[in-house]
Amino acid sequence: MVDAMMFSSPAGTQSALSIRLAHYLSLTVEEVAALEAMQGPRRRLIAGEVLIATDGAAESLFVVQQGWLHSSTRPRTGGRQILGFHYPGDLIGTESIAWARAATALTAVSDCIVTDVPKAALGELFAQHGRLAGLLYAVAAAEGVAMSDRLTAMGRMTAMQRLAMLLLDIMARLRVTAGGVIDSFDLPLTQADLGDALGLTKVHVNRTLRAMEAEGMIARTGRRVRICDEAALIAFSGFVDRHAVVATDWLPPRALGVAA
């Protein structure tokens, strides 16, 4: 079974989505095959490239295979708000599934590879594989909670706490795919990007980062960030990891709902 899961797709390797979902729930061969079949051609993006622009046609979702992207909006009042970051294994563009035109823009932060998922293919997946539908619903709910954490941070926390939370969140999400426990990572974001994600100006991001460095909370060398005392940062910011675990016990056992 495990072997079948590892090598069942036509190309011989699994998409990052199957791998990530398998962290949360043991998938059947059919389910993995359906996830692979849903995904269309791959597409390469270079850093800064726009995958979908706001109000552009939204016919497909995408699975991130490699690299980072972010979703963002441009308020009428000027500026930009980054809503979240997307990593390998994420199903993205879901923000736009409820409309014909994209509600948010998707932009590559680093060089990326994504695969195309036509909306109708996702509809088919939902119809054929109820457990996967439930699992995707749960993962989306977890991402919603991660966003609500950011909302809380912007509403009720200081610049330093927000920054601490964001760095911890990025690291937590990277650990899901990176496997082992890491305490540093490359941050392909400018300070302006961080500011747009946290509702701060780049100037204030800079001052805050330096203050955190001065206090020994983090260390920076180039674009690499190390979290020096994770426990202290967590206590300071109130961060909660929303990525490590996703409850799936409420899903029906694997046999149910598979088309005969």
Q: Which residues of this protein are in contact with DNA, per CB under 7 A?
A: 158-160, 190-192, 199-204, 206-210, 223
Interaxial angle between packed helices 159-178 and 230-237, expressed in degrees from 0 to 180 and rounded to the nearest 10: 130
Structure tokens at 118: 């036509």
CA-angle at 189, arms to 184 and 195, nearest 5°: 110
Could you tell me how many residues of this chain bind a second copy (CB under 8 A)? Answer: 70
- What track of x and - describes contact with a second copy for positions 87 through 126 (by CB under 8 A)? -------xxxxxxx--xx--------------xx-xxx-x
Candidates 9, 66, 81, 206: give the one binding a second copy (CB under 8 A): 81
d(CA 124, CA 88): 23
Single out the segment in contact with a second copy by CB under 8 A; choices: 129-137, 168-176, 186-194, 213-221. Answer: 129-137
Among DNA, a second copy, none, what binds residue 104 when CB lies within 5 to 8 Å by partner kind?
A: a second copy
Q: Which is nearer to DNA, 115 or 208 (CB)?
A: 208
Going from the C-alpha of 114 to that of each of 42, 81, 178, the distances in angstroms are 6, 23, 18
Shortest spacing between CB 46 and DNA, in angstroms: 13
Asked if 140 interacts with a second copy (CB under 8 A), we say: yes
**Of 4, 26, 79, 203, which lies in the binding site for a second copy, with binding defined by CB under 8 A?**
79
Identify residues 225-244 at the interface with a second copy (CB under 8 A): 238, 240, 242
Nearest to 31 by CA among 257, 187, 222: 257
Q: Does 54 bind a second copy (CB under 8 A)?
A: no
Q: Cβ(52)–Cβ(102) under 8 Å?
A: yes
Rounded CA gap, 160 and 201, in Å? 13
CA dihedral 74, 55, 142, 225 (to 10 degrees): -40
Q: Which of a second copy, DNA, none binds 191 (CB below 5-8 Å, type-dependent)? A: DNA
Q: Which amino acid does the sequence have at 205?
A: V
Tell me the C-alpha to C-alpha distance, in Å, between residue 230 and each of 156, 169, 172, 226.
21, 11, 11, 10
Per CB under 8 A, 214 contacts a second copy? no
Interface residues toward a second copy, by CB under 8 A: 71, 73, 75-81, 83, 94-100, 103-104, 119-120, 122-124, 126-128, 130-131, 133-134, 136-145, 147-158, 161, 196, 198-199, 238, 240, 242, 245-247, 249-252, 256-257, 259
